[in-house]
């Protein structure tokens, strides 16, 4: 008897839910998953840049890495549609280190691996607060759904010591 009542109740609930539903629903994936390889000497951190989706550091080696993501669909919502990685890079480049007086920025290096497009460049600038030159390895990645900016940085010695690792980080990124 209890089983019959439970079965009838379940059937009634399913029937009324289906019958009286007025709006069709669409499922959305919220959030974005991507993958990146990092050297084992770096650990996840926070507080470097609030816009970054993920941040890593090694305080002893004084190197840092952060990744920012711009989803193409979200960019279009704010009327920012980039036709290519070059177009995205040009937009990035006009603001990158714009306020720094003593800076050097290399020419970008373009590469395609599989379906992903990459740009990498080196930049240095003199930081008055630390009284030294800061080195940036910057990478931009275009995937099917997103643009990523990868910033790896440290003092000027980081270029010789860690650039190969920074490149490995950049070229490992995929979604």
Asked whether the beta carbons of 96 and 105 are under 8 A apart, the reply is yes
Phi, psi of 117 (to 5 degrees): -110, 140
139 occurs within a structural domain: yes
38 occurs within a structural domain: yes
Per-residue model confidence (pLDDT) at position 23: 73
1 occurs within a structural domain: no
Per-residue model confidence (pLDDT) at position 32: 72
State which residues form the domain around 135.
25-172
Q: Residues 10-26: what's their mean pLDDT?
A: 59
Looking at the structure of the chain, the number of domains it has is 1
Per-residue model confidence (pLDDT) at position 5: 56
pLDDT in tens, 103-113: 999 999 999 99
Task: Tell me the pLDDT band of 74, cut-offs 50, 70 and 90.
Answer: very high
12 occurs within a structural domain: no
Is residue 9 predicted with pLDDT exceeding 70? Answer: no
pLDDT in tens, 83-97: 999 999 999 999 999
Q: Residues 76-83: what's their mean pLDDT?
A: 93
167 occurs within a structural domain: yes
DSSP annotation of 84 reads S
Per-residue model confidence (pLDDT) at position 105: 96
Give, for 113, the enclosing helix (H) or strand (E). strand 109-113
Per-residue model confidence (pLDDT) at position 20: 53
CATH number of the structural domain spanning residue 135:
3.40.1000.10
Of 6-10, 68-72, 103-107, the one with minimum mean pLDDT is 6-10
Judging by DSSP bridges, how do beta strands 103-105 and 116-127 pair with one another?
antiparallel
55 occurs within a structural domain: yes
The mean of the pLDDT values for the chain is 88
What's the pTM value of the predicted model, to 2 decimals? 0.81
- Which of 50 and 20 is assigned the larger pLDDT? 50
Is residue 7 predicted with pLDDT exceeding 80? Answer: no
13 occurs within a structural domain: no
Q: Tokens for 5?
A: 């009542």
**Residues 6+ away with beta carbon under 8 Å from 148:** 34, 67, 68, 69, 70, 139, 140, 141, 173
165 occurs within a structural domain: yes
- Which of 8 and 175 is assigned the larger pLDDT? 175
């Amino acid at each position: 008897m209890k089983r019959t009542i439970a079965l009838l109740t379940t059937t009634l609930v399913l029937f009324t839910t289906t019958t009286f539903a007025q709006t069709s629903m669409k499922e959305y994936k919220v959030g974005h998953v991507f993958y990146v390889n990092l050297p084992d000497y770096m650990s996840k951190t926070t507080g470097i840049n609030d816009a970054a989706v993920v941040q890593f550091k090694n305080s002893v080696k004084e190197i840092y890495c952060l990744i920012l993501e711009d989803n193409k669909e979200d960019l279009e919502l704010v009327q920012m549609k980039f036709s290519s990685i070059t177009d995205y890079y040009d937009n990035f480049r006009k603001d990158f280190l714009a306020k720094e007086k003593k800076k050097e920025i290399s020419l970008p290096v373009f590469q395609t691996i599989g379906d992903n497009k990459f740009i990498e460049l080196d930049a240095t600038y003199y930081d008055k607060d630390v009284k030294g030159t800061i080195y940036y390895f910057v990478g931009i990645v275009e995937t099917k759904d997103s643009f990523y900016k990868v910033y790896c940085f440290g003092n000027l010695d980081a270029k010789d010591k860690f650039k190969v690792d920074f490149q490995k980080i950049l070229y490992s990124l995929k979604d």
